[in-house]
Chains A and B, each alone.
Chain A
């Protein structure tokens, strides 16, 4: 069955390629540190299951030590010049959009079709990972098409990937790091403590204030954890179930569904949701790391007010 290991192998080979290219780049300002960073990441993706928990933990500490001391840097990657790009854009015109659509198209088709493909009675692709696996196939097909069509140098896929990865830098592992922090917070019981505190501040008798504590708790705890999924069980157990649904007889569907969306408003406001807010700031070369969050504030607050009123008006 094709599942996550297939994706991890692609990613691991890619990271290993970046490590080798960095090592071979004599002009790289932080050659050894950067090569070690991509090499360790390759090790994690290719052999993470064999390292043991503590081994993986030490690997993370090493990654953080390299990135935290400024030893992960950008080199000069061979790519096309501005003039070459202008010329290529004029020559190929809208045909350039087609390969960009290959990946989403394959992801889409794969998601629907792989459900029906079986091998010796078992599904060919892990049903839980069908979209990610399809994304992997889409990437391979797109790279092959681009090589056949544009005939770039053979190492171009690795060079171009490395060019973007180096432009992103350490934020490339921040989302995975924050997800792991969530696991440590869960083990340390952070959720229960926050939920207990939120449960204590509910004032008696006011439906509106009880709703507000719930939605503020969803948005606020989502901002802390960077993820509404982590906030939802905590705030539901502390306020949603016992107070809004229990004591005040609110409609559980509205409380839960719109409560989750209140959490999404928090996601728009926090650097902890790194893949939505910090990574794009880096990808789009913005000087202010929080520029995307700033652009979202007015929308997030308006929708937060809307969601709070929606629960208050329709759930009771």
Chain B
């Protein structure tokens, strides 16, 4: 039971809003020591994993491109384009993005969009411009809600689209796990069973976006 102490550290540390990097290191030390490892070998285990997991941070190399585009006014252009298109309401913009994100993820193209690549430079300014037209008196808190919903839409679209693609990591993990336990399944069967939830995600999240549109339009 004692190795679970790391989970307790994480929950309490995040709830009390300590710096999450510190919380993570303390949680690792707590769980490792509770499991009978000596502190130095916990540090070494963590360091080894940090080195192997560098690929997690590698996509940040996109930042110079996004920064240079922002320097050239990409966010302003995205905003102006939406401001000039009367049919582009916030609900329609986000629903279209949700559909596009689900469809491209289902084709295995998860890397073509994301929070740094598309949400910050394109989707968020577009959504804000549309919200501003629907409600010119929108507050800063209201704008932040719109931006948060843009990020949420990207996550929902990707999570519940990618599993339809045959070669995605999670499908391969499931196939590998079942095979190791003597159950042979075809990746296609697994991806077919990702479709009902993908449809439900589009309906549920799309309905929330549509209601958001109605709420803003009534103001």
CB < 8 Å neighbour of A283 from B113, B115, B208: B115
> Which A257-316 residues have a C-beta within 8 angstroms of B?
257-258, 260-261, 264, 267-268, 271-272, 274-281, 283-288, 291-292, 294-296, 298-299, 302-303, 306-307, 310
> Which of B4, B155, B156 has the most chain A CB within a 10 Å cutoff?
B155
CA distance A279 to B117 in the complex (A): 13
The answer to whether residues A64 and B21 also contact, given A256-B190, A268-B159, A284-B148 and a CB cut-off of 8 A, is yes
Name the contact of A310 in the complex, choosing from B20, B64, B155, B196 (C-beta under 8 A): B196
Contacts A299-B208, A303-B197 given; indicate if A164 touches B67 (C-beta within 8 A). yes
Prevailing SS type, chain B contact patch: helix
B67 lies within 8 A of A163 (CB): yes
Pick the contact of B68: A64, A136, A143, A294 (CB < 8 A). Answer: A143
Q: Is there a chain B Cβ closer than 8 Å to A200's Cβ? A: no
* A60 in complex: contacting residue of B50, B64, B124, CB < 8 Å: B50
B residues 116-165 in Cβ contact with A at 8 Å: 116-117, 119-122, 124, 144-145, 147-152, 154-156, 159-160, 163
Interface centre among B3, B64, B68, B177 (most CB of A within 10 A): B64
Contact status of A252 and B178, CB under 8 A, knowing A44-B51, A224-B10, A287-B144:
yes
B67 touching A180, Cβ below 8 Å: no
Q: Name A159's closest neighbour in chain B (CB-CB).
A: B67
In the bound assembly, the distance between CA atoms of A275 and B55 in angstroms comes to: 13
Contact indicator A51/B148 (Cβ below 8 Å): no
Q: In whole angstroms, how far apart are the Cα atoms of A190 and B1 in the complex?
A: 8
In the bound complex, CA of A171 to CA of B19 (Å):
10
B99 at the interface (CB under 8 A from A): no
Q: How many residues of A contact B (CB 8 A)?
A: 135
A59 surroundings in chain B (CB, below 8 A): 47, 50
B window 3-54: CB within 8 A of A: 3-4, 6-7, 10-11, 14, 19-22, 24-25, 27-28, 31-32, 34-35, 37, 40, 42-54
11 contacts between A and B (CB under 8 A): A44-B51, A135-B61, A164-B116, A180-B50, A183-B53, A190-B6, A194-B4, A245-B183, A283-B116, A287-B144, A299-B201
